[in-house]
């Protein structure tokens, strides 16, 4: 019997259980078995994730998989990065985890780095400065809770722990804490001390692809589940997305396009020199000793917030077709401006930005969406140029994966502005990468290179080439605008 692999992939906006199998043509077949919503809600004064609900949805999804005839499966879990659960002496969570978008860390970078130069921190960790990194969240953590904390677990590690009773700290996600030392490849003691935590509060570091254990007997008794072997995959969703990106050769960049847009390239050695520091590029650890050299871009979060304001009126694809009827580049917006991280009303925030900068104010849904897509494409193109400069290379292909790879309009604008071939798909690359690490772990797939080839043979990838003479001069004018207005996330 062929092995069945379940990828549990939970992003900030939704979670899913995808079933992956290898067919006779050596293709990966992916089937969605369960999908559920995710989002944070205000509780006890903070924006929090409902972690018990997420675990319950995983168990519900597994029940559906059993009902579909699967008696035995492997399972891997990936989620968004940086957030964590504090676990007390009794092995139970002390509180629901706080979301990285909570305002508690708004000033944390400035406070923490007042006596610790940023350049020093960057040399140690190679990680970009984002005020929601775990380092700053722990800096702002409730002291009484921290005192009662036996273990600090990243979200996917915590879910794996609740399911199996086994605790590990997986490295791809742990690197986003900004507390791992690039040289020693362990937690950095100075940085831990700075936020009053200790190495012993983290379970042992493991690489992606390490078996974790069986789902505990108590869950098997209360739910009708298949026999489930959990494998610790690349638990950071972006790390899984990059594993699941069918890049070919050496001149490709990736854009993992979902709630966030993560644009960068895969490296075998980290790049934490001056240019990378100045441009706030990160070196997150990847599966199989790689590094994700990338930048966080505000991404489709902006579109999600806009859609929420319109209620059930439009689907994402309807909004995208309304955008397609409008003229692009009617206004320049620095979409990485902090004001877009968690505003009360995204539409008003965009409109206010345009007023403040003396530009045309988008009003209709199509105009708003076109303003968002135009400025995402411009941001992407600008970063592709920066990557070429920082790494002294020429990237020819941009592989776009994730939900955003469905947006043909955005793919085409990006290809033209960045002057690169865009290869779009798979749109569930994160789940594919999650499953692929499991398949490599069991020996069903030889290695990452063979796996990426299988992905290219398994999914319908779409190519977009630059359109000649379109948008001449727009990128340059955008860059001039940014030079005058840019307020980066840091
Ligand atoms: P997450 O980071 O939450 O896992 P996904 O990778 O699932 O996000 O991407 C979801 C996003 O992709 C949606 O919020 C939406 O903006 C966008 N999206 C997906 N499909 C389409 C589509 N057909 N048309 C327009 N936008 C789409
Ligand atoms: C994308 C993501 C990203 C992180 C952010 C917190 O889902 O994991 O890589 O920076 O969420």
Output the domain CATH number for residue 52: 3.30.420.40
Kindly state whether residue 447 falls inside one of the protein's structural domains: no
Tell me, yes or no, whether 321 and 187 share the same domain: no
Distance between CA 453 and CA 471 in Å, rounded? Answer: 34
Between the CA of 238 and the centroid of ligand 2 the distance, in Å, is 7
- Predicted structure pTM score: 0.97
What backbone torsions phi and psi does residue 428 show, to the nearest 5 degrees?
-115, 40
Which of helix, strand or coil describes residue 46? strand
Tell me, yes or no, whether 281 and 218 share the same domain: no
- Is 269 labelled as part of a ligand binding site? no
Residue in 234, 294, 296 to alter for ligand 2 test, most ligand atoms within 8 A of Cβ: 296
Q: Domain ends where: 203, 237, 271?
A: 237
Q: Own/partner pairs for 362-367, CB < 8 Å, 24+ apart?
A: 362/330, 362/331, 364/322, 364/326, 365/306, 365/310, 365/314, 365/319, 365/322, 366/319, 366/322, 366/323, 366/324, 366/325, 366/326, 367/326, 367/330
> Would you state the pLDDT for residue 487?
59
Kindly state whether residue 452 falls inside one of the protein's structural domains: no
Q: Report CA-CA distances (Å) from 248 to 98, 399, 448, 466.
A: 38, 10, 12, 19
Between the CA of 261 and the centroid of ligand 2 the distance, in Å, is 9
Nearest ligand (C-alpha, residue 79): 2
Quick check: CB of 254 below 6 Å from ligand 2? no
Please state the rounded mean pLDDT for residues 375-380. 98
- In the DSSP assignment, the letter for residue 428 is T
Question: At which residue do the structure tokens 């489930």 appear?
Answer: 228
- Total domain count for the chain? 2
The token pair that represents 30 in the structure block: 């992916």
Between the CA of 404 and the centroid of ligand 1 the distance, in Å, is 5
Quick check: CB of 408 below 6 Å from ligand 1? no
Please state the rounded mean pLDDT for residues 388-404. 97
Kindly state whether residue 394 falls inside one of the protein's structural domains: yes
Residue 259 has pLDDT above 60, yes or no: yes
Tell me, yes or no, whether 17 and 111 share the same domain: yes
- Is 256 labelled as part of a ligand binding site? no
- Contact between 38 and 390 under an 8 Å Cβ cutoff? The reply is no
Distance between CA 207 and CA 209 in Å, rounded? Answer: 6
Distance between CA 91 and CA 258 in Å, rounded? Answer: 33
Nearest ligand (C-alpha, residue 257): 1
Quick check: CB of 237 below 6 Å from ligand 2? yes
Quick check: CB of 49 below 6 Å from ligand 2? no
Quick check: CB of 260 below 6 Å from ligand 2? yes
> Would you state the pLDDT for residue 392?
97
For ligand 2, atom 6: residue with the closest CA: 81
Tell me, yes or no, whether 139 and 277 share the same domain: no
Residue 159 half-sphere exposure toward CB, CA atoms < 13 A: 30
Between the CA of 417 and the centroid of ligand 1 the distance, in Å, is 22
Residue in 10, 404, 411, 413 to alter for ligand 1 test, most ligand atoms within 8 A of Cβ: 404
Kindly state whether residue 290 falls inside one of the protein's structural domains: yes
By annotation, the residues acting in catalysis are 237
Q: Report CA-CA distances (Å) from 368 to 267, 341, 349, 372.
A: 36, 17, 11, 6
> Would you state the pLDDT for residue 435?
99
For ligand 2, atom 1: residue with the closest CA: 80
Kindly state whether residue 432 falls inside one of the protein's structural domains: no
Q: Which residue has the higher pLDDT, 356 or 1?
A: 356
Tell me, yes or no, whether 147 and 271 share the same domain: no
Residue 351 has pLDDT above 70, yes or no: yes
- Contact between 49 and 111 under an 8 Å Cβ cutoff? The reply is no
Distance between CA 374 and CA 371 in Å, rounded? Answer: 5
Q: Domain ends where: 185, 219, 237?
A: 237
Tens digits of per-residue pLDDT, 124-146? 999 999 999 999 999 999 999 99
- Contact between 70 and 63 under an 8 Å Cβ cutoff? The reply is no
Quick check: CB of 406 below 6 Å from ligand 1? yes
Cβ contacts of residue 136 below 8 Å, gap of 6+? Answer: 105, 108, 109, 112, 178
Tell me, yes or no, whether 230 and 267 share the same domain: no
Q: Which domain holds residue 17?
A: 5-237
- Is 324 labelled as part of a ligand binding site? no
Q: Are strands 252-257 and 227-232 parallel, antiparallel or unpaired?
A: unpaired
Tell me, yes or no, whether 195 and 341 share the same domain: no
Q: First CA to last CA across the chain, in angstroms?
A: 51
The per-residue b/e assignment along 40-56, b for 16 or more CB within 10 angstroms, e otherwise, is beeeeebbbbbbeebbe
Tell me, yes or no, whether 232 and 324 share the same domain: no
Distance between CA 460 and CA 427 in Å, rounded? Answer: 10
Distance between CA 236 and CA 80 in Å, rounded? Answer: 6
Of 231, 279, 267, nearest to 78 by C-alpha is: 231
Distance between CA 256 and CA 424 in Å, rounded? Answer: 10
Between the CA of 323 and the centroid of ligand 1 the distance, in Å, is 15
- In this prediction, what percent of the chain has a pLDDT beyond 70? 99
**Ligand 1 atom nearest residue 259's Cα:** 2
Tell me, yes or no, whether 198 and 307 share the same domain: no
Q: What is the ipTM of this complex?
A: 0.99
Quick check: CB of 362 below 6 Å from ligand 1? no
Tens digits of per-residue pLDDT, 22-46? 999 999 999 999 999 999 999 999 9
Residue 488 has pLDDT above 80, yes or no: no
Nearest ligand (C-alpha, residue 297): 2
Q: What torsion, rounded to 10 degrees, do the Cα atoms 158, 159, 162, 168 define?
A: -50
Tell me, yes or no, whether 56 and 175 share the same domain: yes
Quick check: CB of 304 below 6 Å from ligand 1? yes
Q: Domain ends where: 197, 218, 237?
A: 237
Kindly state whether residue 368 falls inside one of the protein's structural domains: yes
Distance between CA 1 and CA 204 in Å, rounded? Answer: 34
Q: Are strands 205-206 and 41-43 parallel, antiparallel or unpaired?
A: unpaired
> Would you state the pLDDT for residue 1?
62
Kindly state whether residue 161 falls inside one of the protein's structural domains: yes
- In the DSSP assignment, the letter for residue 289 is G
- In the DSSP assignment, the letter for residue 269 is S
> Would you state the pLDDT for residue 489?
42
- Is 15 labelled as part of a ligand binding site? yes
Nearest ligand (C-alpha, residue 237): 2
Which of helix, strand or coil describes residue 445? coil
Of 230, 262, 238, 486, nearest to 353 by C-alpha is: 486
Please state the rounded mean pLDDT for residues 313-329. 98
Cβ contacts of residue 395 below 8 Å, gap of 6+? Answer: 251, 252, 253, 265, 384, 387, 388, 420
Distance between CA 397 and CA 463 in Å, rounded? Answer: 10
**Ligand 1 atom nearest residue 14's Cα:** 3
Kindly state whether residue 420 falls inside one of the protein's structural domains: yes
Quick check: CB of 173 below 6 Å from ligand 2? no
Q: Answer positive or negative: Cα dihedral of 297, 303, 306, 308.
A: negative
Q: How distant is the alpha carbon of residue 17 from its chain centre?
A: 17
- In this prediction, what percent of the chain has a pLDDT beyond 90? 98
Question: At which residue do the structure tokens 């988008």 appear?
Answer: 362
Q: Answer positive or negative: Cα dihedral of 473, 321, 29, 67.
A: positive
Quick check: CB of 262 below 6 Å from ligand 2? yes
- Is 259 labelled as part of a ligand binding site? yes
Between the CA of 383 and the centroid of ligand 2 the distance, in Å, is 18
- Contact between 335 and 372 under an 8 Å Cβ cutoff? The reply is yes
Tell me, yes or no, whether 267 and 345 share the same domain: yes
Tell me, yes or no, whether 186 and 53 share the same domain: yes
**Ligand 2 atom nearest residue 260's Cα:** 1
């Amino acid at each position: 019997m062929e092995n069945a692999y379940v990828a549990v992939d939970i992003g900030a906006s939704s979670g899913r259980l995808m079933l992956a199998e290898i067919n006779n043509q050596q293709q990966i077949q992916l089937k969605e078995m369960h999908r559920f919503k995710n989002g944070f809600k205000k509780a006890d004064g903070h924006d929090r994730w409902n972690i018990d609900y997420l675990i319950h949805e995983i168990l519900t999804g597994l029940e559906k998989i059993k009902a579909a005839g699967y008696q035995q499966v492997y399972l891997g879990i990936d989620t968004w990065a940086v957030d964590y659960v504090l676990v007390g002496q009794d092995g139970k969570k002390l509180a629901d985890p706080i979301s990285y978008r909570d305002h508690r860390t708004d000033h944390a970078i400035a406070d923490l780095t007042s006596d610790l130069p940023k350049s020093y921190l960057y040399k140690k960790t190679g990680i970009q400065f984002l005020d929601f990194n775990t380092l700053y969240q722990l800096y702002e953590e409730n002291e009484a809770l921290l005192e009662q904390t036996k273990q600090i677990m990243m979200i996917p590690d915590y879910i794996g722990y609740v399911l199996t009773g086994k605790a590990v700290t997986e490295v791809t996600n742990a690197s986003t804490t900004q507390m791992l030392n690039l040289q020693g490849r362990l937690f950095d003691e100075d940085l831990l001390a700075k936020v009053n935590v200790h190495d012993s509060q983290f379970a042992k570091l493991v690489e992606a692809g390490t078996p974790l254990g069986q789902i505990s007997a108590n869950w098997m008794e209360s739910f009708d589940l298949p026999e489930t072997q959990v494998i610790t995959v690349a638990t950071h969703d972006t790390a899984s997305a990059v594993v699941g990106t069918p890049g070919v050769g050496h001149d490709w960049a990736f854009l993992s396009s979902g709630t966030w847009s993560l644009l960068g390239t895969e490296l075998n050695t980290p790049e934490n020199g001056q240019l990378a520091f100045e441009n706030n590029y990160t070196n997150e650890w990847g599966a199989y000793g790689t590094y994700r050299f990338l930048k966080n871009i505000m991404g489709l979060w902006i579109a999600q917030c806009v859609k929420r304001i319109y209620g059930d009126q439009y689907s994402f694809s309807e909004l995208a077709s309304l955008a397609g009827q409008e003229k692009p580049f009617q206004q320049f917006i620095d979409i990485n401006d902090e004001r877009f991280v968690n505003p009360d009303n995204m539409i008003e925030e965009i409109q206010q930005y345009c007023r403040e900068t003396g530009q045309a104010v988008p009003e209709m849904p199509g105009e708003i969406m076109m303003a968002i897509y135009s400025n995402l494409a411009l941001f992407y193109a600008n970063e592709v140029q920066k990557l070429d400069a920082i790494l002294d290379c020429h990237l020819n292909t941009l592989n776009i994966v994730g939900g955003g790879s469905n947006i043909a309009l955005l793919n085409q604008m990006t290809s033209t502005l960045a002057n690169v071939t865009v290869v779009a798909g798979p749109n569930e690359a994160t789940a594919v990468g999650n499953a692929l690490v499991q398949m490599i772990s069991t020996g069903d797939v030889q290695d990452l290179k063979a796996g990426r080839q299988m992905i290219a043979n398994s999914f319908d990838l779409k190519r977009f080439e630059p359109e000649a003479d379109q948008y001449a001069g727009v990128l340059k004018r955008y860059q001039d605008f940014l030079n005058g207005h840019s307020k980066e996330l840091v």
